[in-house]
Structures are given as C-alpha cells and as structure tokens.
Amino acid sequence: MTSSSGSAASPDLVTALTNKATHLRIESVKATSEAGSGHPSSCCSAADILAVLFFSVMRYDPKNPKAPNSDRFVLSKGHAAPLLYAAWAEAGLFPKSELLNLRTLGSDLEGHPTPRLPFVDMATGSLGQGLPAGVGLAFNAKSIDKTDYRTYVLMGDGESVEGSVWEAAEVARHAGLDNLCAIVDVNRLGQSDPTILQHDMDAYRARWAGFGWNAIVVDGHDIGALLAAFDEAARTKGRPTVLLAKTFKGRGISFIENHPEWHGKPLKKGEETQKAVDELARQLKSVSVEPQIKAPSALKAAAPTKGSMAPAPYKVGDSAATREAFGAALLALGEANSQVVALDADVKNSTYSDKFGKRFPDRFLENFIAEQNMLGAAAGVAACGKIPFVATFAAFFTRAYDFIRMAAISQSNIKLVGTHVGVSIGEDGPSQMGLEDLAMMSAQPGVTVLYPSDAMSMYKLVESAASHKGMVYLRAGRPKTPVIYGTEETFPIGGSKVLRRSEADRLTIVAAGVTLFEALKAHDQLKAAGIPTRVVDLYSIVPADQATLIECARATGGRFLTVEDHYAHGGLGDAVLSALAAEGVRVRKLAVRDIPRSGKPEELVDYFGIGVRSIVEAAKEIATTATR
C-alpha cells in the first residue's frame, strides 16, 4: 500500500512519452469530432497511462497483436475506445487516417471495442466486465500455460462501484494473480454526477488494500511516477497490483478540462476542434529519442494435446442424472484435450465438475459465489484459445446474464452448463429452479442451445459442444433418468431423435429432458386408447431440426403438442413454433405457467401440468378436435 511520485526515468524518455500522450489526445479529439459522437474527455484523462503502457511498459509486437506471449491489455472503460485505437495507430498497426472512420458502418473502429479488431480480446462497454476478463487472461498465463505475459486492465472510477469489480478483486487476490495489474482512471467525473469518492485517493487505496491488493496511488499525468508504479507492479509477487491514478477529464484542453458537462460530448468540427488541437500541439516538445516498444519473450507453453474421449460409461437401462453425465464427460474431455478448462462458483459437487477440478487443478478456476466473475474470467480464458466450461445452477446464470450478452457480442468460445432446471428439482423451491434459461440463451445471437435427455446423449453432446466453435449452452437435469440411447447413437448439433412413430400417427409430441420420459409414458397410454402418437426428442433447441419437425407435421396432420419443464415463453415450444411458422401448424404448449413451489419432483411435474396426465388429456383434446 504505497504511493509513487517521481522516478529515475531519463528526462528524454519522459518527454518522448509525454509527446506520445499528446498525440493520442489529438487523434482522439479529431476522430470523435469527425464522428460527431464519442468521449474525448474520457480519452484525454487516460492518455498518459496508455502512452506509458504502450510505448514503454508492455511487451508486444506492434504489427501482430496476437503474437504469442504478448502482454494483454483490456480497456474496461470501453467508451474511451478512440484512445485505444489511437494507441495502436501510433504503434504502427494501421494508418492514422483510418481513425477518422470512427463509428462509421464500414469501419471496425466501433463506438466501443469488439473482437472484430485483432487487438481486442473481448467486447467491452458494459462497465465492470474488464477486470473479470483480466482475471481469466492472467489465470491462463499463471496457472494453465505458465508463461510470463502480464495483463493490464484500464478501468474507470465510476465503474468501480460495480459489484463484479469486487468479485474479480477477491478472486484475483485468492488466486495470487501477481501478473495482473489494474489501473483505475480516477478522473472524478461520472456521466451525470461526480463519482462517489471523487478524488479521495486514500479511500480508494483503503478499499483495494482491504481486498489484499498492492494499491499504489499515483498522479496519472506524471509520466515518471507512472513508470515507477508499473515497475513496482511488475516486481510485486504473490498478489495483484492496482494503480489508482488521479487524473482529470479533458486533460490538456483548458476549456473542457475537469468540466462535468463534457462527458460523452465531442468537440464541434471546425473552430472548436481546431482550438483544442492547436492547444495540444503547443504542448509537444522536441526530443532526440523515440520510445522503444518491448518485444514479448519467447513462448514456453507446452504444446496442446488433443485426442478422443473415452467411451461413455453407460448402457441402455442404466439410471443417471444428466448433470452426473456432464461431470463424467468433462473429466473424459479433460483427459483427451489439454485446452479444456473448467470454472466453478462453489457448486462443483452439485454440477459434478469437481471431478475435473481434482484431476486438473491447474485448469480449474474456483470463483466461489461470484457468477459474474466466473463468466468474465471464462471469456478471458477463451480469448487465449482455451475451451472453458462454466457450470452452475441454471437459475444463477440470470445474475451473470449481462456477461453472457457481452460474451455473445464477442463471439466467445465458452460453454455454459446449467443444472438444476425446472420444477423437477423438487423441494428446493422456485428460487433454485432454472425456468427461463432456454429463453435467455436462445435470445443471444450465435448461441447453440442443447437439452439432452439421458446420460448418453449428455456425454456425447459435451464432446460436440467442445468441438463446436462458438458459445454453447447445455441444460442438465437433477433427477436420475433412464439411459435410452446406446453407444452407437450420434447427436449432431441441429438434430433430433424420433423415438416413436407409425404410419397412423395423429399427433406429434415434442419434448426434451425429464418431460421426454413423461411423453413416452403418455405415448403408451394414448396407444392403448387408440390414439397413435409420434414422439420427438428435440435435444437441439437452437438450431432446431426444422426438416424433421416439418416431416412430422405433414405426417400427423399439422397437430403438435410440446411439453417442457420451463416457463411457456422462449423455450422448446417456441423453438418448435418458430421452425413450423410457415407450415400452418397448430402447436399446443404444455409448460410451467405459474411461479412454482416446493414439493417432490414427481408431484411438481404433475401439479404444474407437464406430466403424463396432462399430456394424455391434451393429446385427447387435440385428437378429438381433429376428428370433428
């Protein structure tokens, strides 16, 4: 818990870096003025920090942002994107003229950074997410690859109120991530008001030091002090470091500096912009040296291994919960593929990811009860080329949904596994029942949503999820269910299984998970009553097997019944409706339509209208209507 002021850095280096910061300010002002929108004042407050990082501290290849073992930089305060773009242009990655395309449709220099750019690991802009991602990046270097790259995360002071920041602070301290350095740009002003602490630097230091971090208060506009602080951070072992940089919004432009009304407001093109640029240009000084960007060290990580998973340890007639099968599959996958990583939030003995954690502790990040950090860290790990599996109760993904949304924007290769779904979990009650998870995951672009019904299909779909490039959600149940599929079965993403069929079928019943077994029992009762039905296991919700559903619709006169242990909106039933929208099909949905309560699983399934009794009643009504 120290302060840094002054440094032994050479005067020429300090002057050269000061010039770099001025150039970054000038380019940020020009770009936002040309765009007519953006945050030039927020860029100006952090320009000295980025100049020191990019042109003296970080080790990277300015022509190859993805060079192995490069230091990582995350701009958590994503609204300062023009500053990040200016830094890479100043480093020579692309011409500065491209900065004037900021925020235009044809440019990847968007209002907030996304991984469309090669130097961005994950999308930022929803505040409070950069540090959790940094935890994942740093964990990958320290524990998985055991390499020496460092991770730097630049945050705003306003976002430090976000709870996810403190989740990350706690996990980073516990994991001993001394290769992680956060920088808080304490410029005092938020969007609509001054920040809570404004420039109370002692209060900032007390908070971070209380979380076990090496907390350094520094003048964020003093180049020498910044150099000294980053040097101390690199030498600090056993815990992460945070630089608490006292800065001023709009630094270097006298008529906007430290004025609250300039948040998110570009300077007007023409005279106002020119006035600011001229003032900044007068701050440039002649210097005989140019800062040297440091090259990354040689990569020493072990070559990844990838092989085939061991066969599933199940046979037809066994009984196992799909959450148990997930744990077994994850362990087998970890044995076969060294790129697989698992993250937990203190429920590993319920999701069965503890088996993986015990076998591969270096590839397992325990987040304790910090679901937001778990998702953010997973995105960071995925940005390093790993395949992270994130498992928790499906209901608890709701508190991390913004992280899921940002991971989808990033097209992150993370795999989510939600257990304890639906009323079938039983006595724990509605707070623990994942009943909106299919809708949540299906709403995000590019997310594959899978709902295996037995242990064999879960085991094989875990392997499919790992092989699939992109985010995948696997829904896992708590109760034990019969194993109905043999080892010869395959489960391609986008497929389904027609388990019961005849030429005389008058109705198609579509289900997945526990309700599939209710549908199979209902099939037998309906057959005895003279109502032949077709039963489909729609294990792939997104994408759904449209071809098979259309075939079933045509075979059964366009009569469909869906049944799911999920709320009525956005789940399996709506996936079927969407797939059959152009076919004129009548779909009746059985789903959980009320807030549930505690009870035995079988009681709840029946009580909330998704059991065999309700399926038979609905099927008979549909069949009776069809014969009139």
Domain stop point among 226, 252, 281: 281
Q: How far apart are CA 176 and CA 381, in angstroms?
A: 17
Are 241 and 123 part of one and the same domain? yes
- The pLDDT averaged over each successive group of 10 residues in the chain (628 residues) is 60 97 98 97 98 98 94 98 98 98 98 97 97 98 96 97 98 98 97 96 98 98 98 98 98 96 94 98 94 89 86 97 98 98 98 98 98 98 98 98 98 98 97 98 98 98 98 97 97 98 97 98 98 98 98 96 98 97 91 97 98 98 75
Domain stop point among 482, 513, 536: 482
Are 475 and 516 part of one and the same domain? no
Residue 170 falls in the annotated catalytic set: no
Closest CA to 109 of 128, 95, 127, 129: 95
Strands 151-156 and 180-186: parallel
Is position 313 within any domain? no
pLDDT at residue 584, rounded to an integer: 82
pLDDT at residue 301, rounded to an integer: 66
Is position 307 within any domain? no
Is position 487 within any domain? no
Is position 201 within any domain? yes
Q: How far apart are CA 18 and CA 26, in angstroms?
A: 12
Q: How far apart are CA 435 and CA 418, in angstroms?
A: 11
Is position 150 within any domain? yes
Q: Which residues contact 106 (CB under 8 A, 6 or more apart)?
A: none
pLDDT at residue 299, rounded to an integer: 79
Are 505 and 460 part of one and the same domain? no
Are 39 and 175 part of one and the same domain? yes
pLDDT at residue 370, rounded to an integer: 98
Burial 537-572 (b: 16+ CB within 10 A, else e): bbbbbbebbbebbeebbebbbbbbbbbbbbbbebbb
Domain stop point among 482, 516, 533: 482
Q: How far apart are CA 58 and CA 20, in angstroms?
A: 15
Are 347 and 241 part of one and the same domain? no
Provide the angle, in degrees to the nearest 10, between the axes of the packed helices 40-52 and 223-235.
Answer: 60
pLDDT at residue 547, rounded to an integer: 98
Long-range Cβ contact pairs of 352-357 (< 8 A, separation 24 or more):
352/323, 352/324, 352/326, 352/327, 352/328, 353/326, 353/327, 353/389, 353/391, 353/417, 354/327, 355/327, 355/328, 355/330, 355/331, 356/327, 356/330, 356/331, 356/389
Is position 286 within any domain? no
**Residue 91 parent element (H or E):** helix 81-91
Is position 458 within any domain? yes
The active-site residue, picked from 324, 371, 518, 564, is: 371
Structural domain of 528: 497-627
Is position 303 within any domain? no
Are 205 and 337 part of one and the same domain? no
Q: How far apart are CA 458 and CA 491, in angstroms?
A: 9
pLDDT at residue 628, rounded to an integer: 43
Are 451 and 418 part of one and the same domain? yes
Measured from the Cβ of residue 446, the count of other Cβ atoms closer than 10 Å reads: 12
Are 523 and 474 part of one and the same domain? no
> How many domains are contained in the chain?
3
Q: What CATH number did the domain enclosing 185 receive?
A: 3.40.50.970
Are 148 and 211 part of one and the same domain? yes
Are 477 and 523 part of one and the same domain? no
Cβ proximity of 112 and 83 under 8 Å: no
pLDDT at residue 589, rounded to an integer: 98
* Number of helices (H), then strands (E), in the chain: 20, 20
The DSSP code sequence of 114-160 is: -TTSTT-SS---STT-HHHHHHHHHHIIIIIS-----EEEEEETGGG
Q: What is the DSSP letter of 64?
A: B
Extended strands (E) in 11-119? 72-75
Report pLDDT digits (tens) over 482-499: 999 999 999 999 999 999
Are 514 and 413 part of one and the same domain? no
Are 233 and 166 part of one and the same domain? yes
Q: How many CA atoms lie within 13 A of 251 on its CB side?
A: 26
